[in-house]
Amino acid sequence: MSWPKRCTAGFRVFALFALVGACLVCAYVHVTRFDQRTHDVGAHLRYIELVEQRHAIPSGDECWECHQPPLYYVMAAVVLRAGKWPVPHEHSPPGAPGARALQAIAAALGLLTLLFWLATIRLAATTTYERVLASALATFAPALLIEGCKLGNDPLVICFASGALWQLVGWRVSGRARHLAFAGAFAGLAIQAKANGLAVAAIVLASVLVAAVSRRERRAPRFFWGAGACVALMGASLGLWRYVVVRFKNGVTHPNWDALAPQYGMHNRWQDFFAFDPFTFARNPWVHFDAGPARDEFWNYLLRSSLFGEYGTSDSVTTTFAYTLVGVTLVIGVFALCGLVSCVRAFGRDRRGERELVLAVFGYLGFLASFRLVAPFAVHNDFRFIVPVVVPCAIMTALAMDRLRTKLPAFLVAVWCLASLRVTIYWT
């Protein structure tokens, strides 16, 4: 399919799921308190308060989250000051104007993230069936709401990372070098939003390097112009991040991890990274209430936190839907693995971004595994650090399902979406 045709194809699917996603985001933000799905919410609010009061960036040791890059907190402080709303505190009432303003920022970032996801699917998927399935999996992904619409800098880095992947796929599909420059700009902004934006920059750089060693690709018009602009933008952002750390943060790049042990400590045995027991995965859907051996398993913790975050509930009805979601996810995961294999096989001859999707999957998983190895705590095995990987997984799943050509995949996706909706929106 040529570039112009692919650009116009699937607009109805894009518009439909964008509308559905907007309704989901608004409903979730409406029923969820501002402090309900954010770890260390008091520290995030304190950071915003310090910026708003001093009109300056605080040092890295003034609060638990003050080591973070300042972009989100400066943006939040500017919005609150422009609206003349006071900075909320951890125990402020849910309807406080400042709290609602911060939730509105989170909702806007969550919706923009979804638009990037749907735009990526529109480029990478070639049939209507693929687009519908992939768009449904992305729109109803629990991580979009639980992690992408929370108070803090997570939604901002997720948004920029999703924009970077969209531009990478756009470059791969169209061959236009300017998409590489935009990908570098998004990756640079991700670095300014949160330190795990460095993983985004690494994925973009890997894509550029792979293209540079391909004789056919490096001969594309203006490739080196786009690649040079991409690398320059990411390098400038990395330099700015380093300057802020040294100049304002006193060299502090992370909180005192020793304060997390032993409650959140995990083992780093080799079997924890390579073994996956589906029975222990299905035994308890909530990592929040799991103190058993399965908690140390990398894949177990990652998959459960991708569905429910690090939260849990004792409500029996919600738990029943959670078990349904877990069971269907195991089946859909088989399709995702088949799609991954298919994309790996097409790595050197793809025309719809399979290479970039594969690099994103392995890049994010490698980053998260490395993070846990360096700092073996449960919070560092959380899916929130790699939420943008939802898009490659959704596309790969839809690719494998499209080849089956039966009604079973559509039924599985429908059940998965309904269970996800019940668990995330009507969480008790």
The CA R_g of the chain, rounded to the nearest whole Å, is 21
Lowest mean per-residue pLDDT among 85-99, 289-303, 304-318, 326-340: 289-303
Contacts of 418 (CB under 8 A, 6+ apart): none
Residues 6+ apart with CB under 8 A from 150: 37, 38, 106
> Per-residue pLDDT for 9 more than 80?
no
pLDDT class of 219 with cuts at 50, 70, 90: low
Residue 263: per-residue pLDDT: 63
Question: Which pLDDT band holds residue 37 (cuts at 50, 70, 90)?
Answer: confident
The residue among 215 and 401 whose pLDDT is bigger is 401
Q: What's the rounded mean pLDDT across residues 276-298? A: 72
- Separation CA 75–CA 269 (nearest Å): 41
Report the C-alpha gap between 397 and 134 in whole angstroms.
7
The size of the chain, in residues, is: 428
Judge whether residue 343 has pLDDT over 60. Answer: yes
Task: Read off the pTM.
Answer: 0.92
What Cα–Cα distance (Å) separates residue 150 from each residue in 30, 182, 195, 379, 399? 12, 26, 18, 16, 31
Cβ-contact 209, 172 below 8 angstroms? no
State yes or no: pLDDT of 103 exceeds 70: yes
pLDDT of 231 higher than 90: yes
Confidence of residue 54 (pLDDT cuts 50, 70, 90): confident
Instruction: For residue 19, give both structure tokens.
Output: 């509308």
Place of tokens 């802020």: 244
Q: Specify whether the CB–CB gap between 133 and 402 falls below 8 A.
A: yes
